[in-house]
Amino acid sequence: MHIFPSCKKVAQDLEAISSEFFFTTTTPSLSGSALSGNVLSARNGTVFQSAEVWSIPFINGEVLTSTTPVANGAIASFGRAIGGKSTLYKYLNPHLVVLTVINVGKSTGRVIVTDTTSGRQVYDVVIPNLVAGKGIQVAMSENWLVYSYLDNSGWRIGSVELYEDRRDCEAQT
């Protein structure tokens, strides 16, 4: 990464927060493409080197068609009360991105929700019989993911709500 115009003060400030600065890149290859998460690792003047932290490889024929960040805004509520006086707490993570992947040869698609800081796949679904020319449309706000696509029998819609794992919450208390 190059800072332009060259400024030593900006380079110093960026180096100070480099451990909190994450970005993703897409790398095409003969065996397929990959999405990788990177951090800034070294500085030489106003030029920074990066280091790959995680990678999601896509098999040959799969094409990453879109990356959609989660819409961040005011949170309506932090959980949902369910029977037995228990609560499901929303999985709220500002670093989530929704990936759509299409394999034209196999007429399949995938919707993947990934944490861009760790590379952890939070949600992954395979869509069979996809009409690839129409693609997959996605939107995510708070913990709610909605996606639509056209398959051989018509338009379909998927709706997913992500919640914290109760075992994780119990382990933290």
Q: Which domain holds residue 54?
A: 1-59
Amino acid at 74: A
pTM: 0.81
Predicted confidence at residue 11, as pLDDT, reads 86
More confident call, 167 vs 123: 123
Residues 154 and 169 in one domain: yes
- Residue 158's DSSP bridge partners are 147
Give the residue, 65 or 170, on which the prediction is more confident.
Answer: 65
Phi/psi at 44 (5° precision): -130, 95
Q: Please check whether residues 98 and 159 belong to one and the same domain.
A: yes
Cβ atoms of 80 and 155 closer than 8 Å = no
* Same domain, residue pair 68 and 99: yes
Number of independent structural domains in the chain: 2
Domain boundary among 31, 59, 87: 59
Mark whether 78 and 103 lie in a shared domain. yes
Q: What value does the mean pLDDT of the chain take?
A: 86
> What's the rounded Cα separation, in Å, for the pair 83 and 141?
25
Please tell me whether residue 13 adopts helix, strand or coil conformation: helix
pLDDT for position 166: 66
DSSP 24-78: EEEEEETTEEEEEEEEEEEEETTEEEEEEEEEEE--TTEEEEEEEE-B----S-S
What is the C-alpha separation between 66 and 147, in angstroms, rounded?
Answer: 12
Residue 18 is predicted with a pLDDT of: 82
Q: Based on the domain organization, do 29 and 55 belong to the same domain?
A: yes
- Does one domain contain both 131 and 164? yes
Task: Write out pLDDT tens, residues 78-134.
Answer: 998 888 888 899 999 989 999 999 998 899 999 999 998 899 999 999 999 999 888
Using DSSP's 3-state secondary structure scheme, residue 80 falls into strand
pLDDT tens column, 32-69: 678 888 888 888 888 888 888 999 888 878 888 888 88
- Model confidence band, residue 172 (pLDDT cutoffs 50, 70, 90): very low
Q: Are 52 and 98 in the same domain?
A: no
Does residue 167 have a pLDDT over 80? no
